[in-house]
Amino acid sequence: MHHIPVELGDRSYNIVVQPELLHSIHEFLNELNHGQTWLMITQPSLYKHFGKELESRLTHHGFRVKTILIPAGETAKSIQQVEELYSKMLQLQCDRSTTLLALGGGVVGDITGFIAATFMRGIQYVQIPTTLLAMVDSSIGGKTGVNLPEGKNLVGAIHQPKMVAIDPTVLKTLPKRELISGLAEVLKYGVIDDYDFFQTVGNGIATILDYGDSSLIEEIVARSCEIKSRIVAEDEHESGIRRVLNYGHTIGHALETSLGYDTIRHGEAIAYGMISAGYISHVRGLLSDDEWLTLQNVIKQLPLPDFEIPKPETLLNVIRRDKKVRAGVLHYVLINGIGNAIIADDVTTKELSRSFEILQ
């Protein structure tokens, strides 16, 4: 079992990584239970696999649990869905004491966190991520949000959970494509912060994708959480070092928006974005020939989908609306050697366009 603190003063909380955690989660939530309504937000398939048993277990241990189901897919992260959830919560007599449980992947976690940040000016929530991507990334750090037609997560808030409860054994139920998507984010942590971890993950990709070593999976989840929690503790509101967590995300988000969320998974898009950012780093002399080759070879171990890259102007138009553009300046994450990310504010459209072309 791993207890990983996210040190944020009076908003601090723990990430708990433990196999079979869902069977004993009431023990970790007891101190938060004061007789209030606990509202679980999840999706139909997840409710069938995990939610129904979780609801029953918590009820048995004295929790007043209700459940709302939302549709699967990225399109559920919409203003319309948020409005529907507000109405359902009022019908269920939720109030400022209500605690939300986000049982699911990034979509469930993001929209539940946004509801928690805004319903009656803010209520508590707990993240229970069920995908590798959510375990190592979206459930940690308090970023919440919904999408607009113009781009991802353009409406949101920073609202920290009270706890992140991670049960790595649920990953056995994941489709392999979702595991691949999460592994891209795991690799990201090695690229930006820890070369040894990058090597460990790179050497273990085949084993991880075959669920061949549960202890390795637990360790990569825990180490990813450690890296992100440390960065978040240093820079909660992304005014400095936290920006390095966006490595690969500028182009990744542009690909998601341009191609459609059902065409390419988030992690798949980030994998392509990491190659693109790595290319710019290499051209600028920040990444040696050997490191550039290593970066490509490791990422390409992930079975990524083939698709036609959108036209450069299409991607550039999306990037211009990206949250990482401030006062007209794009803050772009480059790599000054694997394991060391830096922020550049002088990446040109010519460099970006050339980096799109190599993805083809």
Each domain of the chain, given as residue ranges in start order, spans 2-173, 176-357
Q: Tell me the catalytic residues.
A: 121, 143, 185, 228, 238, 242, 246, 249, 253, 266
Q: Is the pTM of this model over 0.85?
A: yes
User: How far apart are alpha carbons 110 and 184 in whole angstroms?
Assistant: 19
In this structure, what token pair is assigned to residue 58?
A: 């918590």
pLDDT at residue 330, rounded to an integer: 85
Positions in the chain whose pLDDT score sits under 50: none
Nearest CA to 256 out of 232, 273, 281, 238 is that of: 273
Nearest CA to 251 out of 176, 351, 154 is that of: 351
pLDDT at residue 75, rounded to an integer: 87
pLDDT at residue 325, rounded to an integer: 64
DSSP per position, 126-186: EEEE-SHHIIIIITSS-EEEEEETTEEEEEEEE---SEEEE-GGGGGGS-HHHHHHHHHHH
pLDDT at residue 333, rounded to an integer: 96
- The answer to whether domain 2-173 and domain 176-357 are alike in fold is no
Helix/strand/coil (H, E, C) string of 269-325?
HHHHHHHHHHHHHHHCCCCCHHHHHHHHHHHCCCCCCCCCCCCHHHHHHHHHCCCCE
- The second-level CATH assignment, the architecture, of 2-173 is 3-Layer(aba) Sandwich (3.40)
User: How far apart are alpha carbons 315 and 334 in whole angstroms?
Assistant: 18
Q: Which residue has the tokens 């009270």?
A: 162
What's the topology of domain 176-357?
Answer: Dehydroquinate synthase-like, alpha domain (1.20.1090)
**Total Cβ atoms within 10 A of residue 24:** 14
Taking the CA of residue 62 as centre, how many other CA atoms within 13 Å lie in the half-sphere pointing to its CB? 9
DSSP per position, 204-221: HHHHHHTT--HHHHHHHH
pLDDT at residue 323, rounded to an integer: 60
pLDDT at residue 158, rounded to an integer: 96
Nearest CA to 10 out of 236, 321, 244 is that of: 236
